[in-house]
Amino acid sequence: MPLSFRHLAAPRGRALPVLGLLLTALIFAIDLTVPVGSAIGMLYVGVILLGLWSAWLPFPLVAAYGAAALVLVDLYAGWDDHTAPGVVVNYPLMILVFIFSALVVRRFVMLERQAGAHLEQLGDFKRALDAAAIVAITDVRGRITYVNDKFIEISGYSRDELLGQDHRLINSGHHPAEFISELWRTIARGRVWHGEIRNRAKSGHLYWVDTTIVPFMSEEGKPYQYIAIRADITARKAAEETLTQQAALARVGQMAAVLAHEVRNPLAGIRGAMQVLMGRRKADDPERTVMQEILTRTESLNDLINDLLLFARPRPPRIAELELAPVVRDVFATVRQDPAGQGLEFEAQGPSLVVRADADLTRATVLNLVLNAAQALQGSGRITVATAVAPGGMVQVQVRDTGPGIPDEIREQIFEPFFTTKARGGGLGLPIAQRTVELHGGTLAVTCPPEGGTVFTLTLPGPAGPG
């Protein structure tokens, strides 16, 4: 901020002209009592300098003209030797000093007013920018030197936690290293970078920002700091993802309809024929093993078709109050009978809560999550299903295992249709589970805590919750 004499203590309002008049009268009285040719008149410059605090722009010139007139009056009243060098030189010089001082003061006040107007305008711009955008400033090494309130609000970090750090603090790991390297290469060359970035807040939730990074250049043509201006586009990205999913669902629905019509009926015929042929074979006939494998494969293909139909055209849930404890016990009993669940430990935690949900769909969803956990444990470990009350009238169900967890590089893909890491399976189990939970007005999310394992967290409406 430029130096402003207006910030110093000074008389204000009507006190300023009164003070100027009193000083002028005092200087004039003193000047009359001293010999002609003295420099007492130079004290009028102090009155002119009062114009630095005056709101009236002509003040310094009026004071200068008045001082010049009083000096001439003093000269006329006490002039007894007009040829004296002090008279010939000093008095015209004093008048010139008065005029020059007045012009300088007036110019300074005008510049100060312009600077103040510009600063006020910049302040307005800053307030508008802070109200509309997420702003951060970093030095040339990427260390954060300034963040506005919106940055703090969306990131969840305090100002003290952000200042001095770099943006790796909110890096979600979504973008490859090449993406970040290209960003830095662009701004290091003094060019503006624009793009969309996904960040992670302190709470762990992800958010998208439309980002513009502008380099500030030194006289040598090198960046010395960067300003990043961002806009939250999380809602827009979610809408785009929803549209993409709807388009994909439409294609899946068309494919499922074709498969159901063209494949399911022949499969039923093949399955029936195999069962007849197996009935004609003796129990120790080695060909029965081949036939049984054919039956198993046809049943798997039929299950995939059923999953496709369920995913593309799910039935509306039949909502009723459902107690979760019996559902969890039933799921544990079912998984214990599966080869993947043998030798595992099962534990239920938390109170027996009630949700408003479809009993069959809820059981199928919990079974899917517990069975996935059992398959990940590969015969050794513990599966825990914990229930708890969640905010907003919701009920939370967590399915936790002690397995190896899900690698970071595929964690975001597990809810995508047809994505699977298993030798068998169509990759629709988790997408169906997520779609089922969303039809109930709930959510399904996955985390891998530092201590290991995987945690699937689903929320469903409680008795007083939405739905």
- Whether residue 347 is predicted with pLDDT greater than 80 in this model: the reply is yes
Report the C-alpha gap between 327 and 367 in whole angstroms. Answer: 9
Burial of 160 (0-12, 13-18, 19+ CB in 10 A): exposed
Main-chain phi, psi angles of 448, to 5 degrees: -125, 100
Strand ranges across the sheet with 193-200: 144-147, 134-139, 223-232, 206-217, 193-200
Residue carrying structure tokens 């939405």: 466
Pick the residue with more confidence: 245 or 277?
Answer: 277
Count of CB atoms within 10 A of residue 148's CB?
Answer: 18
- Whether residue 209 is predicted with pLDDT greater than 90 in this model: the reply is yes
- Whether residue 3 is predicted with pLDDT greater than 50 in this model: the reply is no
**In the 8-state DSSP scheme, what is residue 393?**
G
Beta strands of 109-249 (E only): which ranges?
134-139, 144-147, 193-200, 206-217, 223-232
Q: Please, which residues have CB within 8 angstroms of residue 74's CB and are 6 or more apart in sequence?
A: 28, 31, 32, 36, 41
pTM attached to this predicted model: 0.51
Pick the residue with more confidence: 378 or 355?
Answer: 355
**Predicted confidence (pLDDT) per residue in 170-181, tens digit:** 998 888 889 999
Alpha helix positions (H), 133-197: 149-155, 159-162, 177-188
- Tokens read off for 448: 């891998």
Count of CB atoms within 10 A of residue 453's CB?
Answer: 21
- Confidence class for position 259, pLDDT limits 50, 70, 90: low
pLDDT of 262: 65
Is there a contact between 411 and 446 (Cβ–Cβ < 8 Å)? yes
pLDDT over 90, % of the chain: 23
Short-list 265, 264, 269, 270, CA closest to 309: 264
- Whether residue 283 is predicted with pLDDT greater than 80 in this model: the reply is no
Pick the residue with more confidence: 94 or 190?
Answer: 190
Report the C-alpha gap between 364 and 152 in whole angstroms. Answer: 41
Pick the residue with more confidence: 75 or 331?
Answer: 331
**Which stretch of 47-51, 281-285, 419-423 has the lowest confidence by average pLDDT?**
419-423
- Whether residue 425 is predicted with pLDDT greater than 80 in this model: the reply is no
pLDDT over 70, % of the chain: 79
The 3-state secondary structure of 299-329, one letter per residue: HHHHHHHHHHHHHHCCCCCCCEEEEHHHHHH
Mean of per-residue pLDDT scores for the chain: 80
Is there a contact between 77 and 91 (Cβ–Cβ < 8 Å)? no
Short-list 177, 215, 183, CA closest to 196: 183
Alpha helix positions (H), 13-84: 15-33, 44-49, 59-78
Q: List domains and CATH numbers for the chain.
A: 5-130 (no CATH), 133-232 (3.30.450.20), 237-312 (1.10.287.130), 320-461 (3.30.565.10)
Is there a contact between 134 and 230 (Cβ–Cβ < 8 Å)? yes
- Whether residue 307 is predicted with pLDDT greater than 60 in this model: the reply is yes
